[in-house]
Amino acid sequence: MMWLFGQIFVLCLVSFVAGAAMTAVVFVMRPTLFSPPAPAPEPTGQRKLVEMDAE
């Protein structure tokens, strides 16, 4: 019975460490995922011509 409790404890410990590692990767290593988007450039009132190549 003690063996079963030991196995469950090790499983919980491993899952906790894995979750902490994933949290560190997502929140610490990649802060750009949660940064606010850059503001859109203000319109200048000029139109841009776009030409397409004939195929």
Give me the pLDDT at residue 24, please.
Answer: 84
Instruction: Say which residue the tokens 């004939």 belong to.
Output: 54
Q: How far apart are CA 1 and CA 9, in angstroms?
A: 13
Give me the pLDDT at residue 32, please.
Answer: 62
Give me the pLDDT at residue 31, please.
Answer: 61
Give me the pLDDT at residue 38, please.
Answer: 73
What's the Cα-to-Cα distance from 47 to each of 3, 16, 39, rounded to whole Å? 74, 55, 20
Half-sphere exposure of 2 (CA within 13 A, CB side): 0
- pLDDT tens digits for 4-55? 999 999 999 999 999 999 988 887 766 666 666 777 777 777 777 777 776 6
